[in-house]
Amino acid sequence: MTPPDIQSLQDQLDAAEQDAQNLISGLDDELGAWRANENSWSVAECFDHLATGNRIYLSAMQEAALQARRQGRQRRSPAKPGLIGRWFVGYLEPPVKAPFKTKAPRSIRPRKGPALADAFDQFIESHHQMRSFLNSNADLDLARIRFVNPFIRGVRFSLATGLHVIPAHERRHLWQAWRVRKAAEENLGVKSAAARSKP
């Protein structure tokens, strides 16, 4: 039986996928590639950023999980972040306020103008990898095993924090992508029931 904390993480992935499916419903390549300006991201670029970030994050987490398994570090408590981890996860949650916007690390900045379908498929593939990680490592002591954050120099998180960071980061950029879609449709004079349902 799947532990409730692991099921909650899987449910968050399911919710993000459903939101992403709704986001691209009726979205053509022109709308998917629309950007407000040269420094902003399109919907497709938001997906590309998430897919790349997820892969890099999971790779760092996988290395730590493999080492912990060799050491026999079995599950002792639920996979929940500690105090600092909870703060960081909360910081990532939307809506994003202007003073708290930060530039993405160079390693996870999106490709310029990726095809919407390809970027979305890469995003979904990263979820397959995430679910595989959860299923393979639910028996480990995720709340106490630490990994080196690949994007913040000198910072180590628990695997539990990393597993909560990923869906929070996705919610942040899906929120951003919905706003981009709405702006694109207004700019191009397109009406969409899906976009009208989002703020």
pLDDT digit string (tens) for 71-104?
Answer: 999 999 999 999 999 999 999 999 987 555 677 7
What pLDDT does residue 195 have? 47
Q: Is the four-CA dihedral 84, 136, 122, 167 of positive or negative sign? A: negative
d(CA 55, CA 45): 15
Q: Which residues of the chain carry a pLDDT beneath 70?
A: 98-101, 190-199
Backbone angles phi, psi at 124, to 5 degrees: -65, -40
Q: Say if domain 4-196 classifies as CATH 1.20.120.450.
A: yes
* CB 87, CB 157: distance < 8 Å: no
Q: What is the pTM of this model?
A: 0.90
d(CA 199, CA 179) in angstroms, rounded, equals 7
Residues with Cβ < 8 Å from 74, sequence gap 6 or more?
139, 140, 141
Domain ranges of the chain: 4-196
